[in-house]
Structure 1
Amino acid sequence: MAFLSSRRRKVRLAPELDDQDLGKLLKSLVATTRTGTIATTELCVAQMSRLLEQDPGDWDRRAHRIDVLAGYLVGSHLPRAWSTREPRNAHALVLQAWTQVAQARAHGHLEDPAGAVESCLRAAELAPDDPTPWAALLAVARLERREQSQVFGLWNEVLARDRWNREAYLNMLAYLSPDEAGSRIQVLEFVDTLRARMPANAPCVATELTAQIHQYHAILDRGGLEALVARNHWSNDMATQALDRAAHTWIQPGFLRHAKALADLNLLAYTLVAADRRAEARSVFEQIGGVVTAWPWQTGGDPVTEFDQIRQKAMAGV
């Protein structure tokens, strides 16, 4: 029992995933902001700048770090303070825009779309090889429900700099869905085109499985008899093939190397359990350890509780 209790304590929401430097920064930001000193902003800015200057050219890692920082700093004065103090710092400008996007996703609307666009364009001018400003612009365009010609234009700008950019593909998947500016047919065509060209371990590899999870959730949301038999979704050919491809490759040691690999393994574990393939899910849970992502576990309630309960059942073979 002590062993089980120890394992349960390790289950936690960890937006940084296995990025130890990012995790240390998040803890340091908490400690720094609690000091209440006059130099708090300067200390926080210095810490964020130092992290974002690491690994130049690793666009996948950069996007992950900015995404996590933006979500963490929603409601904070730090992104705007940094971009105001250093108006020619691409890190500061992109973080400011990405934080506005994160806030819009939380509250339902973008408060200053023109300001977010301006920040992105200035960052793109300062760092022409960086896909991150264009990925942020794509997210803004999606939130604003811009015309598809504009959105695809921004998407192409991202891909010209980072062919398999995870954020770009996931934003396009959501934009092309029936809930936003597209249709089920457009989603299928988009996923089919991606699958035909994408390396099996690309950073955007979870796009196809994400599309299937969204469709599964749409069935659950309808309620009634459809929700009761929603598990049957994972028996249709497209869903089964997508899940088979992921289950047979992602769990191979070292196969997934991108920054959000643990987030994708969370998707795989969730999906295998939803498809009643618990025996396969066990090895995925072992790789994940206790690192929990909010989505998709939050659809069943508290994500940590949901993850922990399902993991224990899967590991016990229930």
Structure 2
Amino acid sequence: MAFLSSRRKKARLAPELDDQELGRLLKSLLATTRTGTIATTDLCVAQISRLLDQEEGDWDRKGHRISVLADYLAASHLARSWTTREPRNANALLLHSWTQLAVGRSQGRLESADAVVVESCLRAAEILPQDPTPWVILLGVARLERWEQPQAFGVWNEVLARDRWNREAYLNMLGYLSPDEAGSRMQVLDFVDALGARMPANAPCAATELTAQVVQYQAVLDRGGFEALVARNHWSQTMAAQALDRVAHTWAQPGFLQHARALADLNLLAYALLAADRRREARPVFEALGGTVTEWPWRAGGDPVTEFDQGQRRAMAGQ
């Protein structure tokens, strides 16, 4: 993760975050698909396969890359074409499954029967038994399709057996256990408490607790009226304040967060500090971000880049 000087860089959306190889691939895919040549699919598949093959064993990095590619390719048939050509290629199966999940999230349901995605994930799991990614995707399916809790927890345990602190899995379970989905507020609290009792401070899933607080804060804003006007009071409550206190002075330190989506967590922290009116503490976080913007949580206030840029100006001014 690149930590920068106090000189402010132009804010920009960057789904690849600080993964420069992934960023180059996204640009290359765009340029390749614009050529319109017969060999377009072959070229794209070769580029994707080359990148994903680099990260076998680094499940955190691999999951980040596949998730970004899945969102990027959701409107194309590339992932499906790859699995058709190479039905025993685990990475092809995973990318296709995650792409279907990305489409399903945007539509509120899976486009095809969930059994198709489940079958692809289980085939990938058979080929790569140590890889948690198939089970991470299945957890996303469980959340989208509202599987019963015994089924969802069964998948959850499969992820943990392979990658104890998998970021995507923890955030999916946080959403699944929320009262808006298949759980309750008490289950969310129990889940966060149990995690905090044993999680390393710089684990890939370190943002789970703060994510829960930001989700709750944004829910208050969404209700509008008087509640939205006093939503800032959320951050003076004990649990929310403690969640911020635990991370406000460590996450932005060079080298503290090392996982693939560290910059996404710093976006979350910057947003929360501003929401809590702790602008001076937000300044080093924005400096560490170097202008890299994520859609969430900034999109809750409007255009993410505009919201980020305005927040950064306030933090740098210390007002």
TM score, norm. by length of structure 2: 0.96
Counterpart-to-counterpart distance in 2, 1:307 and 1:105: 25
Q: Is the 8 A contact 2:8 2:287 kept in 1?
A: no
Counterparts of 1:184-223 in structure 2 under 5 Å? 184-223=185-224
Q: Is the 8 A contact 2:192 2:209 kept in 1?
A: yes
Counterpart-to-counterpart distance in 2, 1:317 and 1:194: 33
Counterpart-to-counterpart distance in 1, 2:85 and 2:274: 49
Counterpart for residue 227 of structure 1: 228
2:306 aligned with 1:305, yes or no? Answer: yes
Counterpart-to-counterpart distance in 2, 1:256 and 1:66: 20
Deviation at 1:7, TM superposition (A): 4.8
Counterparts of 1:90-129 in structure 2 under 5 Å? 90-112=90-112, 113-129=114-130
Structure 1 residues 233-242 or 102-111, which shifts more?
102-111
Counterpart for residue 174 of structure 1: 175
Structure 1 residues 212-221 or 272-281, which shifts more?
212-221
Structure 2 counterpart SS, 1:305: helix
2:139 aligned with 1:138, yes or no? Answer: yes
Structure 1 counterpart SS, 2:205: coil
CA RMSD across the alignment: 0.9
The 1:118–1:169 alpha-carbon spacing in structure 2 relative to 1, beyond 3 Å, is same
Post-superposition Cα deviations, 1:33-54, rounded to whole Å, max 9, x if no partner, equal 0000000000000000000000
Deviation at 1:55, TM superposition (A): 2.6
Counterpart-to-counterpart distance in 1, 2:302 and 2:268: 16
Counterpart-to-counterpart distance in 1, 2:84 and 2:134: 17
Post-superposition Cα deviations, 1:171-200, rounded to whole Å, max 9, x if no partner, equal 000000010000100000000000001000
Deviation at 1:223, TM superposition (A): 1.2
Deviation at 1:251, TM superposition (A): 1.6
Letter in 1 for 2:183: G
Counterpart-to-counterpart distance in 2, 1:55 and 1:149: 32
Deviation at 1:253, TM superposition (A): 1.5
Counterpart for residue 250 of structure 2: 249
Counterpart-to-counterpart distance in 2, 1:73 and 1:34: 14
Structure 2 counterpart SS, 1:106: helix
Deviation at 1:310, TM superposition (A): 1.2
Post-superposition Cα deviations, 1:78-136, rounded to whole Å, max 9, x if no partner, equal 00000111000000000001011111111211011111111101000000000000100
Q: Which stretches in structure 2 are left out of the alignment for 5+ residues?
A: 1-6
Larger relative contact order (CA 8 Å, sep ≥ 6): 2
Counterpart-to-counterpart distance in 1, 2:218 and 2:11: 24
Counterparts of 1:270-281 in structure 2 under 5 Å? 270-281=271-282
Counterpart-to-counterpart distance in 2, 1:106 and 1:290: 27
Counterpart-to-counterpart distance in 2, 1:299 and 1:39: 41
Count of residue pairs brought into register by the alignment: 312
Counterpart for residue 150 of structure 2: 149
2:89 aligned with 1:89, yes or no? Answer: yes
Structure 1 counterpart SS, 2:252: coil
Counterpart for residue 66 of structure 2: 66
Letter in 1 for 2:219: A
Counterpart-to-counterpart distance in 2, 1:301 and 1:219: 16
Counterpart for residue 263 of structure 2: 262
Counterpart-to-counterpart distance in 2, 1:69 and 1:293: 15
Counterpart-to-counterpart distance in 1, 2:142 and 2:176: 9
Counterpart-to-counterpart distance in 2, 1:14 and 1:251: 19
Q: Which stretches in structure 1 are left out of the alignment for 5+ residues?
A: 1-5
TM score, norm. by length of structure 1: 0.97
Counterpart-to-counterpart distance in 1, 2:250 and 2:241: 14
Counterpart for residue 165 of structure 2: 164
2:53 aligned with 1:49, yes or no? Answer: no
Counterpart for residue 4 of structure 2: none
Letter in 2 for 1:49: S
Deviation at 1:238, TM superposition (A): 0.5
Letter in 1 for 2:222: D
Counterpart-to-counterpart distance in 1, 2:253 and 2:314: 23
Identity of aligned residues (%): 75
